[in-house]
Amino acid sequence: MLIRQFEEARRPRYREMARRAERAARGSRDFARMSHTSAWRIATGKGLPGSVEQLRAFLVACKVPRTAFGLWIEAWERVQAQEHQDRQARRRERRTEAVSAEEAKALMRAAGLSPRDPYPGWNRPWAAHCTNCRAFSRFRLSEVAKGRGCPVCASPRPPGAGRVTGPGVE
């Protein structure tokens, strides 16, 4: 929607937008200064305004009537709230990915890998031997859980697949 406002304002130059925002910011705490880079980032959809004040500055730069600011601010706050919820959900997902060392070893063994070091964590590289080709490599348990296996013999083995036994295999 902000891109459309930029288009409706006939695509003003970013430096001109920064000047308009600067004029609005003088003597007012309701508006932030906005660099031409920030104007470009918002106008091209590469990012959102970082604050309500920056949103107001962008709207002024696009010559949006001040009477419409309230609706824009409400929409921006909804987007910010949703992004906050998404960040919290991602954090919860990371916490649920935490597995015990024993569970981690069992996952690796089921994928045909024999760990050589203590369990470092879900997304950290973990040294292991492939029980199929005996190649030594480093694996992330998060990738192994997705079914990715040995990069040398290219034999991904889904968790739960039969284990290959051999000398030196735990």
For residue 168, the tally of other CB atoms under 10 A from its CB is 8
Q: Is the pLDDT of residue 162 over 90?
A: no
Q: Is the pLDDT of residue 21 over 50?
A: yes
Same domain, 105 and 73: no
6 within domain boundaries? yes
45 within domain boundaries? yes
What confidence score (pLDDT) does residue 166 get?
A: 36
Asked if 133 and 140 touch (Cβ cutoff 8 Å), the reply is no
Lowest mean pLDDT across 50-54, 111-115, 152-156: 152-156
Short-list 38, 32, 39, CA closest to 53: 32
The C-alpha atoms of residue 109 and residue 131 are separated, in whole angstroms, by 9
pLDDT band (50, 70, 90) for residue 121: confident
Stated as kind and residue range, the H or E segment containing 113 is strand 113-115
Domain range spanning residue 121?
Answer: 101-145
44 within domain boundaries? yes
Q: What does the pLDDT look like over 70-112, one tens digit per residue?
A: 999 999 999 999 999 998 888 766 655 678 889 999 999 988 9
Number of domains the chain is built from = 2
pLDDT band (50, 70, 90) for residue 16: very high
Same domain, 18 and 91: yes
Give the N- to C-terminal CA distance of the chain in Å, as an integer: 58
Same domain, 112 and 41: no
